[in-house]
Amino acid sequence: MKKLTVFCAIISMAALVSAKDRDYSIVGGLSYNTLTVCESEGDTSSEGIIAPRIGVELAMSRIDKLAFGWRMMSETYKPSGNNLGLKIDVNQFDVTWLRNLRLSREIKPWVGAGIRTTIGDIKDRHTIDDDGYLDEAYENRSATDICLI
């Protein structure tokens, strides 16, 4: 997975270098994400996270564009009952092909498909007993996922 992540990053950089003769936009925004971590040792509670996103959109034609994006999320989960406590740091990189779909004169949404890789570091995994004391501590780990968007 890490080789694929490096490959996507290299392709993204190559496309940005070619952007000097093209129309491009730097975009940013905030997204609201609900994140639950499911582990073999237990699950976390669901938390809502506001995550910043920055990206570049490269116009390929009047109706097509290529979008590259990066999103960062970080959250600390407190253990409770059967829930696992941990700290998670996530970086997401995506590449998306977008097409302007003309439904009517006024309605022209952008639709597309792409690929996203998620790299997460999960630290300080632990559970507590009924009295609030440390029950068990687990090793830190990293996870890399890839999905179609």
Q: What pLDDT does 91 receive?
A: 92
Containing 8, the helix (H) or strand (E) segment is helix 2-17
What pLDDT is stored for residue 78 in this prediction? 86
Residue 36, pLDDT score: 79
Q: What is the pLDDT of residue 24?
A: 82
pLDDT confidence of residue 5: 58
Q: Does residue 86 contact residue 51 with C-beta atoms inside 8 Å?
A: no
State residue 38's pLDDT score: 79
What the block records as the tokens of 145 is 């996922």
Give pLDDT, residue 146: 94
Per-residue pLDDT of the chain (149 residues; tens, 9 = 90+): 556 555 555 666 555 555 556 688 888 999 888 877 777 777 777 778 888 999 999 999 999 999 999 999 988 888 877 788 889 899 999 999 999 999 999 999 999 999 999 999 999 988 888 888 888 888 999 989 999 99
How do the residues of the chain divide into helix, strand and coil, expressed in percent and rounded to 5? Answer: 15, 60, 25
Give the pLDDT score at 116. 94
Q: What is the pLDDT of residue 84?
A: 85
Residue 3 CA to residue 69 CA, distance in Å, equals 18
How are beta strands 38-39 and 24-35 bridged, if at all? unpaired
